[in-house]
């Protein structure tokens, strides 16, 4: 059990039984600097990088799976560091993130990124960091017991879900079944992030009820 703040609005809303994987990539395309009036004397890396990014974005990675929404590729930065209006830059770079479901692996997506880059910018450098693979704890006896504990204490039937960012559960999933249930996350990562004493007491009771159930 991981105590992530899984509930969007009220205690008992949601249990996480899986998470998407996360991949970050940094793409650097080198060119030849020159004056915009003499493009034949230069090699514009921005044009090549745009071709790479367009190719990455034009085809969806998948349509989702039984428990996961479609994988998402988001370009988070594109920079050339160019302060002149009449200069073709020598280098262009971009950063992106892929949140991927159980139809992919980080290694497979890394290979796909490198292939697209070679097609549109053969000399591009691609640096990939995989911060977590996707995982799923299929619904079963243990998740049923957790749902029952939440229902008993709150009167709500929690939704089983796999959305959101990564969590520490990814470090446990390869060793045993793992689920996430915690506080309400409405104020998460805000300046005034907070919870209530009542929710803390409710969560404690849910954990106690769940543990008594699985150990019975």
148 CA to centre of own chain: 29
Per-residue pLDDT, 132: 94
Which residues pair with residue 75 across a beta bridge?
A: 96
Per-residue pLDDT, 216: 77
Which residues pair with residue 43 across a beta bridge?
A: 32
Cβ burial of 23 (10 Å; 0-12, 13-18, 19+) is buried
Per-residue pLDDT, 189: 85
Domains with residue ranges and CATH for the chain: 14-19+136-215 (1.10.150), 21-132 (3.30.70.360)
pTM value is: 0.90
* pLDDT tens, position by position, 189-213: 899 999 999 999 999 999 999 999 9
Per-residue pLDDT, 144: 95
Which residue positions in the chain have pLDDT lower than 50? none
End-to-end CA distance of the chain: 17
Per-residue pLDDT, 46: 97
Per-residue pLDDT, 114: 97
Report which of 37, 53, 36 is spatially closest to residue 92, judged by C-alpha positions.
53
Q: Which residues of 201-215 are buried (b: 16+ CB within 10 A; e: fewer)?
A: ebbeebbebbeeeee
């Amino acid at each position: 059990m991981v105590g992530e703040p899984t509930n969007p609005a009220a205690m008992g809303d949601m249990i996480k039984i899986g998470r998407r994987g996360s991949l970050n990539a940094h793409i650097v395309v080198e060119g030849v600097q020159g004056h915009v009036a003499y493009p034949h004397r230069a090699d514009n890396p921005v044009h090549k990088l745009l071709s790479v990014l367009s190719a990455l974005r034009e085809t969806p990675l998948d349509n989702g799976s039984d428990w996961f929404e479609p994988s998402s590729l988001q370009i988070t930065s594109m920079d050339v560091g160019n302060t002149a209006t009449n200069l073709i830059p020598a280098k262009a770079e971009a950063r992106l993130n892929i949140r991927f479901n159980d139809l992919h692996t980080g290694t497979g997506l890394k290979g796909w990124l490198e292939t697209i880059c070679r097609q549109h910018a053969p000399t591009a450098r691609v640096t990939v960091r995989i911060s977590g693979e996707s995982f799923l704890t299929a619904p079963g006896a243990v998740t049923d017991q957790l749902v029952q504990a939440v229902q008993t204490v709150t009167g709500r039937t929690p939704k089983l879900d796999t959305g959101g960012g990564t969590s520490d559960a990814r470090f446990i999933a390869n060793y045993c079944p793992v689920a996430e249930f915690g506080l309400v996350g409405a104020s998460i990562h805000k300046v005034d992030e907070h919870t209530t004493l009542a929710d803390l007491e409710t969560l404690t009771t849910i954990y106690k009820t769940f543990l008594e159930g699985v150990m019975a």
